[in-house]
Chains A and B, each alone.
Chain A
Amino acid sequence: MIIELTVNGTLRSVEITPSMRLLDMLRNVLGLTSVKEGCSEGECGACTVLLDGKAVTSCTVLAVQARGRSVVTIEGLSSDEALHPIQQAFVDHDAIQCGFCTPGMIMSAYALLKHTPSPTREEIQRGIEGNLCRCTGYLPIIDAIEDAARRMRTHES
């Protein structure tokens, strides 16, 4: 079947099967390979994307559920030249080691900051509690998100 949806701001029609997961559609059909699969059961957050502005684990969502809705992956955050402030903060705080958790982590951070522009450290920890990172111990990630929030606030004001 063919569904229409918005992916990273562009209206797309995509051929899917009824059992296809959103994760498979994004990776295999649309080639958005930033979306990673770490556990296939909604536990690791590596596959996190935004669905109508909310962070979801795309391994637990069917592609058909995205019909008519808007999906954003990390490919939709930055342009070729400039990183998004969250990405830049991850770079500046060395919040990335192997990088496998990073796209999902940044999408969760993005969703958090959208609704909570000035989060406390505890709110940040809770905002990424569904994203596992085995490398960094989270501390640089939490610093990066705190810093990104600051940067985004000054940017806007």
Chain B
Amino acid sequence: MAELKYVGRDVQRNDIVEKASGRIKYMGDRMQGGAAHARLILSPIARGRVVSFDASEAERMPGVLRVFSPKDDPGKRFNSALFLPDQTDLQDHPVFTDKPLFVGDILGAVLAKDEETARAAAAAVKIGFEEEAPLLDMEQAALPQTPSFREGMPQVVEGKIAYGEESLPGDAIILESVVRTQKIHHGAMENHICEARMEYGGVLLVETPCQMAFTVRYVLADLFGIPFNKVRVVKTPVGGAFGGKQEVGIEPHCALMALKTGLPVRLALDRTQTILATRTRAASVGRILIAADREGNLLRREMDVIVDAGAYATGTQRVMMAMGKKTSRLYRIPSQSFRGRTVFTNTTPAGACRGYGSPQIHAITEIAMDLLARKLLLDPAEFRLKNLVHPWDTDPAGGPALGNARIRDCLVRGMEVFRWNERRVIPSGTGRFRRGVGLACCTHGNGYFGSPYPDFMSMAMRFCEDGTVLVNAGLQELGNGTLTTIGQIVAEVLDLPPERVEVSESDTSTTPFDVGCVASRVTYVCGSCALELAEKLKSRFLGQCARVLAVDAHRLSLKNGNVVDSEEGGRRSYGGMVCRIAKELREEAGEYLHYKPEANPASYGVHFAETLTDTLTGTVEVTDYLAVHDVGRAINPRLLRGQIYGGVQMGVGMALSEELVYDSKGRPKSASLSRYTMINAPSMPKVGVLLVEEGEPGGPFGGKSIGEICTVPVAPAIANAVNASLGTMMTELPFTPERILAALSARRETNAR
């Protein structure tokens, strides 16, 4: 391949100066232009019924425009993940409910002329409840005898994936374990916010920092019975998303208020409301059985996983199935069964969260793999190497082929750089502080192809009169560099500096359809769409130039902003040619492309962690870290490393500190950042990054996904390091000081006996 000019380089992200200067306007920073301010009224109880709703005092407050109560609910239920009518996810979500199902369920709202008034009035609404005992324990929720709180809706939704013989050889070494992963807050620094207004022509305009504008359109049009072309959803700058802004969140509430009053409405949540009333990472309990022969060859694996959807279905059933689908794509296992049960509890709904179930299922499987390695007296790395998939393997469960699966390279090279063999055998010590190393492997996807959800995208691309390029695409920049990456790909093909390429974001009325910046599909799917379209545009443009110049198109090429004629040697600027094409041919130098991916290969990663545990206080410090990833090809290595650092940070939180917990009445104990501990700078380990770039067919310049997978193996890698250093078999995340101390004292007791 000829040397690349922009792909593979550390191109500066497109909006970084605006962000460094503080000039970028997130939705909350924009002039409010006469908008009415809404404040949600959230349920203080975890389960029950509204018996009285007295808004008289609130309504009397000056500046209050209207109070919305459960009576204003449109009656129809929605599902926040649904984007086509044939999707079977349960539609169980009301807008305003009179039967709250968790603390934070949305009962109503106050609309006022300013935020302060709305807040004060919301607090002045007096609501009477008849309380019922909440169902909080997901394992209890999975039992058939447990009464359901879900009026006419199933309490358990099951899914199964299996292949191979069910039987086990009699001499197999078997490990059985139960691993628990916790409920997690996405923690985007920007809280949820949205604006809705009626525009000229009866168009409902909704502006929102979201990840899937077309899903927002689908849900709103369907819920309110509005023609789809009269709903316009525009994506605004996002201050962090991580899946928390993937499903439809507060847009229905905001839109309902705008529709009912005709006023422009701004609905902003504070942190506590964002924690309580939006979405979370689903907690899970995984029962796992792994069987291997004495040499450590895997024979069979059985997984029975309960996934906690919280109070409403949302996209959790998809998350559960996504968990199952990952299990046949990392190791060669002759036979396997996965049973998943999505269950409902009276807690904040779960849904998409960076990794879409992968961090949970990999915590379950990778922690158990280490426990089995211990039983087999094998090095956990060697044990994995015996079993990891090879490039071009198929998925025995029927999923898409794995592609250029380079997990083995990741592990082998990572072991060397991390000095695994040397460090693994260093004794963890007998004193107060115990040092240990651990690792975990993982896989994740590249889009929706091969799943029940269609994956495709369209884009338009055109040269402007000055030779700059406009890419019209329904993308969503989330801070991960989507627009920069797409711009680099286009710049490479059309040979012009990336800053001369402008890539648009979603506006459902003006940009072509796209399913969203989700499912780790942006580089592999959207990037390939951009690449193919840029090539199509290039050939059209060269053809147009040839006609204008009356020469053979083969003589012409694009070089750094100029059309070069190889025979005559002339150089003409893109802009000049665009103008001549317009004048002389009456044509635009533009193209459109419908793109469908025909593969969905796997991305891979191995993370290595070194931890130091204080056996007196139970605190864990991650003292060294190496992340190795099979990325096919790094389009922008610096941005890619940034994804990995951030993914590791979220994973350290999952391993050690982050957890949404509830008291016995279902009241959240961690509904603020002072009680929900995210990793800050002093707790962040140094992270080494090693990339395996062997090229992925079907990806742009060989590239594939990184943004989600980089957070997937973190928690099990750290958990394995801690367990190795303490000789414990902890399987419940996060490893808080309390849990570590409890495990240590349990171990002392067993040893004493």
A residues in contact (CB < 8 Å) with B:
27, 33-34, 36-41, 43-44, 46, 73-75, 78, 83, 87-88, 90-91, 94, 96-103, 106, 122, 124-126, 128-142
Contacts and interface: CB of A to CB of B under 8 A. Distances in A.
A136 B240 CA distance: 11
Contacts of A140: 642, 645
A129 B682 contact: yes
Nearest to B20: A87
Interface centre among A27, A94, A97, A122 (most CB of B within 10 A): A97
Contact of B684 (A33, A91, A96, A137): A137
Contacts of A135: 189, 240, 479-480, 642, 646
Contact of A98 (B20, B239, B680): B239
B684 A41 contact: no
20 contacts: A33-B22, A36-B28, A38-B190, A39-B674, A75-B22, A90-B20, A94-B639, A98-B238, A98-B241, A99-B16, A99-B19, A125-B684, A134-B678, A135-B479, A135-B480, A137-B642, A137-B684, A137-B687, A138-B649, A140-B642
B190 A43 contact: no
Contact of A134 (B23, B24, B188): B188
Contacts of A75: 22
A94 B638 CA distance: 7
Interface string B467-488: 0000000000011110000000
B681 interface: yes
B270 interface: yes
A40 B237 CA distance: 21
Contacts of A37: 28, 191, 270
A97 to B, nearest CB: 4
Interface string B15-35: 111111111111011000000
Interface in B214-256: 237-242
B270 A134 contact: no
Given A33-B29, A38-B190, A98-B239, A138 B23 contact: no
Contacts of B681: 124-126, 128-129, 131, 138, 141-142
Given A100-B26, A135-B480, 16 more contacts: A34-B23, A36-B28, A38-B189, A38-B271, A44-B271, A73-B22, A97-B481, A97-B642, A98-B239, A102-B22, A103-B22, A125-B684, A131-B681, A132-B678, A134-B649, A138-B681
Nearest to A75: B22
- A interface, by DSSP: helix, strand, loop or mixed? loop
Given A34-B22, A102-B22, A139-B687, A134 B673 contact: no
Contacts, number: 167
Contacts of A88: 20
A33 B19 CA distance: 12
Contacts of B190: 36, 38, 98, 100
Given A98-B240, A98-B479, A99-B19, A136 B645 contact: yes
Nearest to B29: A33
B271 to A, nearest CB: 5
Interface in B657-677: 672-674
B523 to A, nearest CB: 16
B58 interface: no
A87 B21 CA distance: 7
B511 interface: no
Which 10 residue pairs are nearest across A and B when measured between Cβ atoms?
A34-B22, A98-B479, A137-B645, A99-B19, A100-B239, A33-B29, A137-B649, A97-B479, A43-B673, A74-B22
Contacts of A139: 645, 684, 686-687
Contact of B650 (A96, A134, A141): A134
A46 B238 CA distance: 15
A34 B657 CA distance: 30
Contacts of B19: 96, 98-99, 102
Given A39-B672, A125-B682, A140-B645, A94 B478 contact: no
Contacts of B672: 39, 41, 43
A106 to B, nearest CB: 7
A99 B687 CA distance: 21
A144 B20 CA distance: 12
Nearest to B24: A99
Interface in B503-552: none
A33 B26 CA distance: 9
A140 to B, nearest CB: 6
Contacts of B673: 38-39, 41, 43-44, 132
Nearest to B672: A41
Residue of B18, B29, B239, B674 with most chain A CB atoms under a 10 A cut-off: B239
A101 B189 contact: yes
Interface string B618-653: 000000000000000000001100101111111000
Pick the most buried of B28, B270, B645: most chain A CB atoms within 10 A of its CB. Answer: B645
Interface centre among A78, A122, A135, A140 (most CB of B within 10 A): A135
A91 B17 contact: yes
Nearest to A122: B682
Given A98-B239, A100-B239, A139-B687, A134 B22 contact: no
Nearest to A103: B22
Contact of A83 (B17, B29, B479, B638): B17
A134 B649 CA distance: 8
Residue in B20, B21, B186, B672 whose Cβ sees the most chain A Cβ within 10 Å:
B20
A100 B270 contact: no
Contacts of A38: 189-191, 271, 673
B12 interface: yes
A94 B14 CA distance: 11
B271 A40 contact: yes
A100 B237 CA distance: 10
Interface string B444-481: 00000000000000000000000000000000001111
A7 B189 CA distance: 25
A142 B684 CA distance: 11
Contacts of B242: 134
Nearest to B651: A137
B435 interface: no
Contact of B680 (A39, A97, A129): A129
Interface in B689-708: none
B576 interface: no
A128 B682 CA distance: 8
Contact of B20 (A40, A100, A102, A122): A102
